[in-house]
Amino acid sequence: MGRLDGKVCLITGAARGQGAAEAELFAAEGGTAWLADVLDAEGEATASRVGGTYRHLDVSDEKGWQQLIDEIVNRDGRIDVLVNNAGIFRSNRMLDTPLDEFDLVMDVNCKGVFLGMRTVAGPMREAGSGSIVNISSLAGMQGAAGAFAYGTSKWAVRGMTKTAAVELARRGVRVNSIHPGLIATDMADQLPKIERMQRGIPLGRSATADEVARLALFLASDESSYSTGSEFIVDGGLNAV
């Protein structure tokens, strides 16, 4: 028996990195995996490798969200799990952050999560169940000096998670956030001072994408049935320092 048997799951930003690891693990655990991204060639390749379905979705596109959720519900009859994983990183201190960078990061990391939650909430509320997993960051737990827009967006994800969780709880829909530390993906390659960061992690290394996917699996599945509005940190001890 798989831990997600019978569950219809959508993962955004699933062409590569953590989203791809989540799609692979969810499909291996019996879930029906829908993968969304803007990197179409990589997304199609990942979907065919893991046995899922790829669709182009820019998470900041309101109409695109509605079209995709309609298609999922028409084909599979339901949507049980949404992982709002798509995200972008920009490194600038507050004083150097141009407005267009701030807007872009908020559009993808913040508006994208809001639109995703709002769109799936309809069918999930109707079904009386669902699990939404929002990927924030350790940057949403601490000050993120040098990545002002990114840190701001990840704190917003943490806040939206709690508010949505309280609003949706009585309809059987759970909403939680994951706060990864340093994860070995393309995004981490963009981080300045990555080696110094790595040395500061108590476990002494960055995580693999799969180590985050295993936490997302727990939150997506009914194993986490009493958790909602909560923060789950996967950071090798960094937040404890």
Work out whether 86 is an interface residue with ligand NAD (CB under 6 A).
yes
Structure tokens at 39: 């990197």
HSE (CB half, 13 Å, CA atoms) of 50?
29
Q: Is residue 151 within 8 Å of 139, Cβ to Cβ?
A: yes
| Range 187-216, binding ligand NAD (CB under 6 A) | 187-188
Question: What's the one-letter identity of residue 79?
Answer: I
- 84: how many CB neighbours lie within 10 A of its CB? 30
Work out whether 152 is an interface residue with ligand NAD (CB under 6 A).
no
Work out whether 176 is an interface residue with ligand NAD (CB under 6 A).
no
Min dist. Cβ of residue 35 to ligand NAD (A): 10
Interface with ligand NAD (CB under 6 A), residue total 28
Work out whether 47 is an interface residue with ligand NAD (CB under 6 A).
no
Work out whether 39 is an interface residue with ligand NAD (CB under 6 A).
yes
Identify whether 54 is a catalytic site residue: no
Q: Which of 4, 15, 115, 147 binds ligand NAD (CB under 6 A)?
A: 15
Q: Which of 3, 28, 30, 38 binds ligand NAD (CB under 6 A)?
A: 38
The three-state DSSP-derived secondary structure of 202-213 is CCCCCECHHHHH
Judged by DSSP in three states, 124 sits in: helix
β-strand partners of 56? 37
Which CB sits closer to ligand NAD, 8 or 135?
Answer: 135
Q: Which of 44, 58, 76, 210 binds ligand NAD (CB under 6 A)?
A: 58
Helices (H), the chain: 17-28, 40-50, 62-76, 99-106, 112-127, 148-168, 186-189, 194-199, 209-220
User: Which positions are catalytic?
Assistant: 150
Interface residues with ligand NAD (CB under 6 A)? 12-13, 15-19, 37-39, 57-60, 85-88, 108, 135, 137, 180, 182-183, 185-188
